[in-house]
Amino acid sequence: MSNQMPKNATPQTSAKDLATNTAKLDEIKYQNELSKQNIKKVENEKLLDDTEALKENQRL
């Protein structure tokens, strides 16, 4: 990977690219957080189901 700027780079295009990349990164971070929350929700639901099953087994 080179540290040289592309020949057609200007401060304006670089700023635009940076803004675009930042927006994409923010969207990825947001989707990642939603995924983490969804995984946690599923884990909690499974734990609740397991707990209810244990309670039911104790009654029998």
The rounded percent of the chain whose pLDDT value lies above 70 is: 93
Here the tokens at position 32 are 């990642």
pLDDT at 7 over 80: no
Question: What is the reported pLDDT for 4?
Answer: 73
Question: What is the reported pLDDT for 11?
Answer: 79
Cα–Cα distances in angstroms (integers) from residue 29 to residues 17, 26, 43, in the given order: 18, 5, 21
Q: How confident is the model at residue 42 (pLDDT cuts 50, 70, 90)?
A: very high
pLDDT tens for 18-35 read 999 999 999 999 999 999
Q: How confident is the model at residue 2 (pLDDT cuts 50, 70, 90)?
A: low
Here the tokens at position 2 are 């080179």
